[in-house]
């Protein structure tokens, strides 16, 4: 007994075969029409295009101008082309303006350095002359007495002593009495008055 032959199923359903065949035919027709259109355009350009270097009337185009024949500004065939690096001319009626840079700000003032106050020693302001002793004057005795005086901050004489004697006690005493009546400008240290010692010479001359 022979086996039954298997039945093959169609790839597409019967109701889709006819629409697909119609669509395939339409696509094939459109492809054929497009191919004919492209072929006719290609033949038109081939027939109407002039040969290289010739115009449609059979005239040849001018050859390019060599670089050495070009004008000085780099323009060929008389074309007025701007050279590289050149600015275009300003329109008529407009004058070029010069834009000045803003002035730099003035430098800041230099700081004022503090004024240094110089130190000074005591200076006599009032110097009444000494009285010449009569005893020394009668004997025609003269000499110089060195008196050391301590000057206070107000300029007065605080104390004094004989730093170098004249050799005559009358002259030494008269010199100290004279310096006691003197007034001084006190010594200055760092801008402030301070006490100091000074040595004052007192000269006696019987001829004067």
**Going by DSSP bridges, is the β-strand pair 187-189/143-151 parallel, antiparallel, or unpaired?**
unpaired
Compute the average pLDDT of residues 171-177.
Answer: 95
Q: pLDDT band for 105, please (50, 70, 90 cuts).
A: confident
Q: pLDDT band for 126, please (50, 70, 90 cuts).
A: very high
CA distance 70 to 195: 101
User: CB under 8 Å to 160, separation ≥6 — which residues?
Assistant: 147, 148, 149, 150, 176, 179, 180
Distances (CA, A) of 92 to 88, 89, 95, 96: 12, 9, 8, 11
Closest CA to 190 of 120, 136, 100, 132: 120
Each residue's pLDDT tens digit, 137-168: 999 999 999 999 999 999 999 999 999 999 99
Q: What is the DSSP letter of 163?
A: E
User: Average per-residue pLDDT in the chain?
Assistant: 76
The partner residues of 202 in beta bridges, in order of sequence, read 145
Instruction: Identify the helix (H) or strand (E) that includes residue 112.
Output: none
CATH class of 123-204: alpha beta
Which pLDDT score, from 0 to 100, does residue 48 have? Answer: 47
pTM for this entry: 0.44
pLDDT at 21 over 70: yes
Q: Are 182 and 124 in contact (CB under 8 A)?
A: yes
CA distance 146 to 165: 7
pLDDT at 13 over 60: yes
What is the token pair recorded at 127?
């110097």
24: region left, alpha or beta (phi > 0 left; psi from -120 to 50 alpha):
alpha
Q: pLDDT band for 174, please (50, 70, 90 cuts).
A: very high
Each residue's pLDDT tens digit, 23-74: 888 888 888 888 887 776 555 445 444 444 444 444 555 555 555 544 444 4
């Amino acid at each position: 007994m022979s086996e039954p032959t298997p039945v093959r199923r169609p790839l597409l359903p019967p109701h889709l075969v006819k629409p697909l065949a119609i669509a395939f035919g339409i696509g094939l027709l459109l492809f054929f029409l497009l191919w004919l259109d492209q072929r006719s355009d290609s033949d038109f350009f081939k027939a109407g295009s002039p040969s290289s270097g010739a115009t449609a009337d059979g005239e040849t185009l001018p050859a390019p101008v060599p670089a050495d024949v070009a004008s000085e500004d780099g323009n060929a065939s008389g074309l007025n082309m701007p050279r590289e690096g050149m600015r275009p001319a300003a329109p008529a009626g407009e004058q070029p303006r010069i834009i000045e840079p803003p002035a730099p700000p003035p430098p800041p003032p230099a700081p004022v350095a503090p004024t240094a106050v110089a130190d000074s020693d005591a200076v006599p302001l009032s110097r009444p002359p000494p009285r010449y002793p009569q005893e020394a004057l009668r004997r025609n005795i003269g000499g110089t007495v060195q008196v050391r005086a301590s000057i206070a901050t107000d300029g007065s004489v605080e104390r004094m002593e004989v730093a170098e004697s004249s050799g005559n006690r009358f002259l030494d005493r008269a010199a100290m009495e004279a310096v006691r009546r003197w007034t001084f400008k006190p010594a200055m240290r760092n801008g402030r008055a301070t006490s100091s010692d000074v040595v004052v010479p007192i000269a006696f001359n019987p001829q004067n």
